[in-house]
């Protein structure tokens, strides 16, 4: 009894079919991602995303105003103001707690973004809360405070790359190229911040710019998603009989 083996030509004929099936599957997945990205971002998510940078910047501005003359906002971090040695430390501590809460709400409402991007926003929010509840001592720092600070900074720096869409069309700022550019800028800010931690004189300035700029991006993304959803709804209403 002889065994029949498939011919080599049959195998070669299957390869284009397999490649075509994989391409078709990727195309369908991209279309599904785009369809889900057209879901509207709720107004409460836009409000929470906008409040986060306002609270972050307003918090350190108000806390700066009540610190003693020996405190330098250029050279010292906001963690000092929320730490045990800070004057009226409740101001900066409260701001960090509120910023974290806003970021958690924003993560829940950013409809249309892939889950990893939303998780990173939530991680940033948890880190802000973690920083607030693990204040620095009068001198030095603690492992918990440093861990929350480092994790939150990395999450804020890299999340634009995860927020970028892989399926066109979409807002230019959320394209893969746009996400790469924004991520590069954020990573550069993070690099400057890390350099300043090694005895630099502008550590406070680097931290304030990093925090104020990077907490703005979820708000920009939320606005872009909401506008795109409104535009898509208008197109559907015009195209419907």
Q: Is residue 164 part of a domain?
A: yes
For residue 29, the model assigns a pLDDT of: 46
* Percentage of the residues of the chain whose pLDDT score is greater than 70: 76
Per residue in 196-223, pLDDT (tens digit) is 999 999 999 999 999 999 999 999 999 9
Asked if the model's pLDDT at residue 102 lies above 70, the reply is yes
Question: Is position 146 within any domain?
Answer: yes
- In angstroms, what CA-CA distances link 195 with 100, 167, 182? 25, 37, 20
The answer to the question of residue 10 being in a domain is no
For residue 183, being part of any structural domain is answered with yes
Residue-number span of the structural domain to which 64 is assigned: 31-222
Distance of CA 193 to the CA centre of its chain: 17
Q: What is the mean pLDDT of the chain?
A: 82
The pLDDT tens digits of the residues spanning 156-185 come to 999 999 988 654 556 677 788 888 999 999
Output the pLDDT for position 229.
65
Cα 117 from Cα 238, distance rounded (Å)? 32
**Which pLDDT score is estimated for 32?**
44
Q: Has residue 104 been placed in a domain? A: yes
- The number of folded domains in the chain is 1
> Which has more pLDDT, 124 or 236?
124
230 lies in a domain?
Answer: no
110-155 pLDDT, tens per residue? 987 889 999 999 999 999 999 999 999 988 889 999 999 999 999 9
Residue 23 included in any domain: no
Please report whether residue 51 resides in a domain. Answer: yes
């Amino acid at each position: 009894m002889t065994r029949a083996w498939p011919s080599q030509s049959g195998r070669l004929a299957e390869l284009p079919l397999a490649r075509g099936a994989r391409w078709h599957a990727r195309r369908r997945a991209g279309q599904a991602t785009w369809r889900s990205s057209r879901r509207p971002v709720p107004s409460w998510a836009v409000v929470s995303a906008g409040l986060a940078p306002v609270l972050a910047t307003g918090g350190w501005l108000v806390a700066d105003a009540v610190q003693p003359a020996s405190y330098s906002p250029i050279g010292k971090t906001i963690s000092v103001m929320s730490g045990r040695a800070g004057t009226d430390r409740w101001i900066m501590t409260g701001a960090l707690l509120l910023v974290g809460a806003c970021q958690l709400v924003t993560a829940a409402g950013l409809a249309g973004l892939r889950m990893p991007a939303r998780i990173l926003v939530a991680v940033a929010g948890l880190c802000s809360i973690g920083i607030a509840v693990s204040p620095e001592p009068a001198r030095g720092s603690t492992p918990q405070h440093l861990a929350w600070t480092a994790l939150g900074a990395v999450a804020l720096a890299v999340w634009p790359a995860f927020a970028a869409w892989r399926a066109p069309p979409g807002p230019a700022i959320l394209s893969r190229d746009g996400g790469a550019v924004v991520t590069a800028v954020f990573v550069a800010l993070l690099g400057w911040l890390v350099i300043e931690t090694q005895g630099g004189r502008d550590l406070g300035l680097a931290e304030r710019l990093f925090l104020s700029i990077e907490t703005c991006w979820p708000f920009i993304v939320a606005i872009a998603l909401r506008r795109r959803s409104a535009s898509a709804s208008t197109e559907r209403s015009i195209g419907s009989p």
